[in-house]
Amino acid sequence: MRSTARVAGLEAIVARILRPPVVAPAADPWAEVLALVPAEFRDPLAEKLDGPYSADLEALASWAATPFAPWARPTAAGLRIPAALVAWVLDPSHRYWVGHHCGA
């Protein structure tokens, strides 16, 4: 009789642990950086970030995921990443690597 109660207790614990969590829908991972980009570049940048993998995409995603060093101050209200930088990042003249967050 006692072992039946223990088994029932263990089953209740397992059911509670294995119950699928209720998770909010994932937010757009690029929303934060896209808000900092001039409006005319948001759609092309979002399209490129969601595109197929490439070495250029890896560098771009690295920059978009952490546009500023971890030790930098929070961005000021209304800050926009310069249009020239975004235009270059969308069509770089050579391969690049963003190492500003290494060791973070």
DSSP state of 72: S
> pLDDT by residue (tens digit) across 36-48?
899 999 999 998 8
Compute φ and ψ for 88, nearest 5 degrees: -65, -40
pTM: 0.59
| Boundaries of every domain in the chain | 26-90
d(CA 97, CA 76): 26
Contact at 8 Å (CB) between 48 and 60?
yes
Place of tokens 């690029």: 30
Report which residue type is found at 30.
Answer: W
> pLDDT by residue (tens digit) across 46-103?
988 888 877 777 777 777 776 776 777 777 888 888 999 889 888 888 877 666 555 5
